[in-house]
Amino acid sequence: MLRSRIVGTGHYLPEKVLTNFDLEHMMETTDEWIRQRTGIFQRHVAADDEFVSDLASHAAKRALADSGVDANEIDFIICATLTPDFLMPSAACLIQDKIGARNAGACDLSAACSGFVYALQMADALIRAGVHQTILIIGAEEMTARLDWTKRDTAVLFGDGAGAVIVRGEEGERGVLTTYVGSDGSAADILSIPVGGSRYVLTPENINELDRGIRMNGRELYKRAVVAFEEATVRALEGARISAADLALFIPHQANKRIIESAAERIGLEREKIFLNLDRVANTSAASIPIALDQARAEGRVKDNDLVLFAAFGAGLTWASAVVRW
Ligand SMILES: CC(C)(COP(=O)(O)OP(=O)(O)OC[C@H]1O[C@@H](n2cnc3c(N)ncnc32)[C@H](O)[C@@H]1OP(=O)(O)O)[C@@H](O)C(=O)NCCC(=O)NCCS
Enumerate residues lining ligand 1, CB below 6 A. 29, 33-34, 37-38, 113, 152-153, 156-157, 191, 218-219, 221-222, 225, 255-256, 283, 314
- Domain borders along the chain are 2-172, 177-325
Tell me if 233 sits within 8 A of 263, measured CB to CB.
Answer: yes
CA-wise closest residue to 137 among 159, 120, 125, 152: 120
CA-wise closest residue to 147 among 83, 205, 202: 83
What separation in Å is there between the alpha carbon of 195 and the centre of ligand 1?
23
Q: Which atom of ligand 1 is nearest to the CA of 221?
A: 41
Tell me if 137 sits within 8 A of 116, measured CB to CB.
Answer: yes
2-172 and 177-325 share one CATH topology?
A: yes
- Give dist(CA 242, CA 244) in Å, integer: 7
Give pLDDT tens digits along the chain (326 positions).
999 999 999 999 999 999 999 999 999 999 999 999 999 999 999 999 999 999 999 999 999 999 999 999 999 999 999 999 999 999 999 999 999 999 999 999 999 999 999 999 999 999 999 999 999 999 999 999 999 888 999 999 999 999 999 999 999 999 999 999 999 999 999 999 999 889 998 888 888 888 888 999 999 999 999 999 999 999 999 999 999 999 999 999 999 999 999 889 988 999 999 999 999 999 999 999 999 999 999 999 999 999 999 999 999 999 999 999 99
**Burial letters 180-210, b for 16+ CB under 10 A, else e:** bbbbeeebeebbbbebeeeeeeeeeeeeeee
- Give dist(CA 140, CA 59) in Å, integer: 9
CATH topology of domain 177-325: Peroxisomal Thiolase; Chain A, domain 1 (3.40.47)
Tell me if 304 sits within 8 A of 175, measured CB to CB.
Answer: no
Closest residue by Cα to atom 12, ligand 1, is 219
- Give dist(CA 27, CA 150) in Å, integer: 6
Residues 6+ apart with CB under 8 A from 49: none
Tell me if 181 sits within 8 A of 187, measured CB to CB.
Answer: no
Closest residue by Cα to atom 1, ligand 1, is 218
Mark whether 107 is an active-site residue: no
What separation in Å is there between the alpha carbon of 64 and the centre of ligand 1?
39
Domain 2-172 sits in CATH at: 3.40.47.10
Q: Which atom of ligand 1 is nearest to the CA of 313?
A: 48
